[in-house]
């Protein structure tokens, strides 16, 4: 279905490269639409971007936050096994954590090479300049590696209800997170410069943030909610989401004026409405 939809939209709006006039609510440097006739083209040439719309090259010593995140997430499954080996705990709790935590990392890498969040690749804020900058940003998101270690260090028997709740919440969160990102990517790829108010965004304004919060709460439940350290990743994500992410995105989306104001008044930010 997605392939048929993409093919139809592709036929209507032209090539993928020329479709990225705008993508994110951030200041994304994206390929501009092809100019009519032989007039001048503003902004970077489409050849500066790959087929997915990501900047294809950087000055020596530089990269993007998106590339760093791909490396970071690729380590999540090995980190889970390493935590079990380090603690000698191969029980159900750390095994389930390794599966869920590792799956998140794998899916992140896959989706970043199928429908990436261009805000992590093309914005000036996402640019990483040098080894020190890379190491600092890598360490800042290293707080998530607490999850597999805390789960492996927790020798208490995993209650069946906790196992059920964590897997249920993780899967529901993954649905909002990954599918919400997919809707946003393909809608703005083939029909840029519009406010998305249908699909997920007709029920919740920030489905991807909602999904991430559900997933991290699930991993906190699995690692041991009575341990204050288990809440550090959730606190970090909440700070990024509530204090930075949502305000910045909505400030940018306010350029749609009355249509944005009506949508914001009608649709909750993080708690989805059912109708």
And the tokens for 234?
Answer: 């959730």
DSSP state of 32: P
pLDDT tens sequence across 133-179: 999 999 999 999 999 999 999 999 999 999 999 999 999 999 999 99
Question: Which of 202, 221, 214 shows the shortest CA–CA distance to 274?
Answer: 202
The pLDDT, as a whole number, for residue 47 is: 65
SS3 124: helix
Distance CA 54, CA 56 (A): 6
Tell me what the mean pLDDT of segment 121-143 comes to: 95
Q: Rounded to whole angstroms, how far apart are CA atoms 254 and 256?
A: 5
Which pTM was predicted?
Answer: 0.83
H/E stretch holding 129: strand 127-129
pLDDT tens digits, 63-107: 999 999 999 999 999 999 999 999 999 999 999 999 999 999 999
- Helix (DSSP H) and strand (DSSP E) numbers for the chain: 13, 2
Give the Å distances, CA to CA, from 237 to 77, 150, 210, 233: 20, 18, 11, 6
Q: How many residues would you count in the chain?
A: 275
Higher pLDDT pick, 86 / 242: 86
* 183-230 pLDDT per residue, tens: 999 999 999 889 999 999 999 999 999 999 999 999 999 999 999 999
- pLDDT digit string, tens, across residues 13-41: 333 433 344 344 444 444 434 333 333 33
């Amino acid at each position: 279905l997605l392939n048929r939809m993409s093919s139809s939209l592709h036929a209507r709006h032209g090539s993928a490269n020329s479709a990225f006039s705008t993508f994110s609510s951030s200041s994304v440097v994206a390929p501009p639409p092809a100019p009519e006739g032989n007039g001048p083209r503003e902004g970077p040439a489409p050849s500066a971007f790959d087929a997915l719309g990501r900047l294809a090259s950087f000055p020596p010593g530089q990269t993007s936050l998106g590339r760093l995140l791909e490396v970071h997430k690729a380590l999540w499954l090995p980190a889970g096994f390493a935590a079990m080996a380090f603690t000698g705990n191969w029980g159900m709790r750390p095994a389930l954590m390794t599966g869920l935590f590792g799956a998140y990392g794998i899916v992140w890498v896959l989706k970043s090479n199928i429908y990436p969040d261009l805000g992590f690749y093309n914005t000036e804020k996402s640019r990483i300049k040098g080894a020190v900058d890379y190491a600092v940003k890598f360490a800042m998101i290293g707080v998530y590696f607490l999850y597999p270690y805390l789960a492996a260090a927790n020798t208490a028997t995993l209650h069946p209800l906790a196992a059920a709740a964590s897997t249920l919440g993780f899967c529901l969160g993954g649905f909002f997170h990954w599918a919400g990102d997919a809707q946003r990517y393909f809608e703005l790829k083939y029909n840029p410069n519009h406010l998305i108010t249908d699909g997920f965004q007709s029920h919740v304004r920030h489905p991807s943030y909602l999904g991430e919060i559900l997933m991290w709460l699930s991993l906190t439940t699995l690692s041991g909610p009575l341990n204050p350290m288990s809440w550090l990743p959730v606190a970090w994500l909440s700070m990024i989401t509530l204090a930075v992410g949502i305000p910045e995105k909505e400030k940018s989306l306010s350029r749609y004026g009355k249509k944005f104001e009506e949508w914001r008044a009608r649709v909750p930010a993080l708690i989805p409405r059912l109708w």
